[in-house]
Amino acid sequence: MMKRKFAGILVAWACLAAAPLLASGAELMVYKSPTCGCCSKWIEHLEAHGFEVKSENREDMNLIKAQNGVPREMASCHTAIVDGYVIEGHVPAEDIARLLEERPVLSGLAVPNMPTGSPGMEGPNPVRYRVLGFGGEGGVVTFASHGP
């Protein structure tokens, strides 16, 4: 009887561990091009992980990036703002949640370019990519790595 109870607890714990990451309702404002399909897929990824997302189609994305301090070498297709942080490109929801939990001294996170295998850029032949923290005292830092 005790073994069954323990097994039940393990199963419940495993289910919780596999459940989507909840972002406790953190709201992101996403600025994107009106013709970008991968941006919409990234938004779906965030919503599936508990984020509330508002989006605004913009033709002036370079201006949005400049106004929010995104370094040119870190630019991607969309820019988001969440709780004072800038999120540039296809940053995974788990990294945004970690950023909001740990609150490091950074301006934001970026996944430069549009690497295959990042959220919203799923496809064959995923690549290894880094999520970079920028705007902190230490310059650019690796916040996380993902991929094969």
pLDDT tens for each residue of 109-119: 999 999 999 99
Cross-strand bridge partners of residue 53: 28
Whether the predicted pLDDT of 12 surpasses 60: no
For range 44-49, the mean pLDDT:
96
> 25 — alpha (psi -120 to 50), left (phi > 0) or beta?
left
CATH topology for 23-146 is Glutaredoxin (3.40.30)
Q: Domain segments of the chain: what residues?
A: 23-146
d(CA 129, CA 111): 8
Task: Specify burial of residue 102 (Cβ count, 10 A radius: 0-12, 13-18, 19+).
Answer: exposed
| Confidence at 19, pLDDT banded by 50, 70, 90 | very low
Instruction: Write down the pTM of the prediction.
Output: 0.83
